[in-house]
Amino acid sequence: MKETAIRRVKVRKISAPLIMPFTISSGSHKNLENVLIEVELKNGIKGFGEAPIAAHITGEKIELTQKNLLSFGKKISGFEIENYWKLMIMAEEQLEKNRAALFAAQTAVIDAFCKTVRIPMWKLYGSKPFKAQTDITVVIGSAKDAFDFTLAMRRRGFKIFKIKVGTDFDADINRVMSAAKAAPGCEIYIDANCAYSAREALSFISELKKRGIPLSLVEQPVKKDDYCGLAEVSAKTDIPVLADESAYGLEDAARIIKGRLATGINIKLTKFGLLRAAEIRRLALACGVKLMIGQMMESQLATFAALHFALGSGGFDFLDLDTPYFLAKGLMKYPKKCAASNGVYDIRPVKEGAGVQPA
Ligand SMILES: [Mg+2]
């Protein structure tokens, strides 16, 4: 067996409590509960990947994801990591119906490969990464919760606030007003997670406009498969409208991009896997559609994989990678200067791979 051959693949559950329930209009996370895959080479090099489990959004479950990753692990045992491209395609074939597992498997493979050739993961994607600040999510709760949380995070240095809406029209207007009051001069996004019809979304936006709240972004205002509604909201407002749940697979995303049904799309690696995400990025940029890099509930491991992808390849206008800031317990080791307490990420200090490993 060559030194760079895959000797062993381990899979286990990881979990951590959150500082508060991460509640959106379609459900809630009380804890992070994800699956970790570790790909170990004969020479001891280890690559890691994280499968983000968001059963209330994607329907993917922990047990099945573990099982699928273990069976993928058996298949790739003995392969040399230099064949990472072949391994990525094997993952596409075997894990296509379990995208969280696909993302984890592909991340672990390229992490091990990048460590083998001693490059940071972003170099695999191309250009020179820059510093970038993530938005921070204001979850569903009371208007006072929205005010207090926004104020605390603004004091920490966050500047972009993404307010989850879509449960109660008037209460949501008040919550957005409260958050905006706590963060004068900051950018305000809203994310309805599929809650509205086109007409409701437009009236929500115009109500906020009447009250002097300038929104910088509206995310997934309408139902997942309401492509007409999505196009209508995009056409009738000047505010950028982003598709998230509506762009779940390659075909959905391509349909939105080709038809310019939204201003932009939210690329989450766990929706697409790494290869399809790269394809969607290319198509979107070619068609003048804007890009957000987003995530499910993820630790720094999956988050850094997304950072390397987005900042390494470039072209992303919106960064929505804030879930590590909701973890009440550290799960991962990483260079601390790469993720500042105000949400500014800088992956340039990463020497090899993603730069993150289990603590
Ligand atoms: Mg979203």
* Closest to 338 (Cα-Cα) out of 322, 355, 325: 355
Beta strand segments in the chain, E? 6-24, 27-41, 46-51, 132-133, 136-138, 160-164, 187-191, 215-219, 241-243, 264-268, 290-294, 318-319, 332-333, 344-345, 357-358
Distance 292 CA to ligand 1 centre (A): 10
Residue 176 and residue 190 in contact, taking contact as beta carbons nearer than 8 Å: yes
Instruction: Please name the residue that has the structure tokens 């394809």.
Output: 279
Distance 155 CA to ligand 1 centre (A): 25
Residue 141's pLDDT is 95
State how far the alpha carbon of 299 is from the alpha carbons of 50, 156, 161, in Å: 8, 20, 20
Distance 118 CA to ligand 1 centre (A): 34
DSSP letters along 159-210, please? -EEEEE--S-HHHHHHHHHHHHHHSTTSEEEEE-TT-B-HHHHHHHHHHHHH
Residue 239's pLDDT is 98
Distance 4 CA to ligand 1 centre (A): 39
First to last CA, the chain: 29
Residue 55's pLDDT is 85
Distance 192 CA to ligand 1 centre (A): 8
Answering whether pTM is above 0.75, one says: yes
Distance 329 CA to ligand 1 centre (A): 24
Residue 58's pLDDT is 82
In DSSP terms, which residues pair with 133 in a beta bridge? 344
Distance 181 CA to ligand 1 centre (A): 23
Separation CA 91–CA 158 (nearest Å): 37
Please name each of the domains of the chain with its CATH number. 6-118 (3.30.390.10), 123-358 (3.20.20.120)
Distance 244 CA to ligand 1 centre (A): 5
Residue 309's pLDDT is 97
Distance 291 CA to ligand 1 centre (A): 13
User: Which stretches in the chain have pLDDT values below 70?
Assistant: none
Distance 246 CA to ligand 1 centre (A): 10
Residue 130's pLDDT is 86
Residue 129's pLDDT is 80
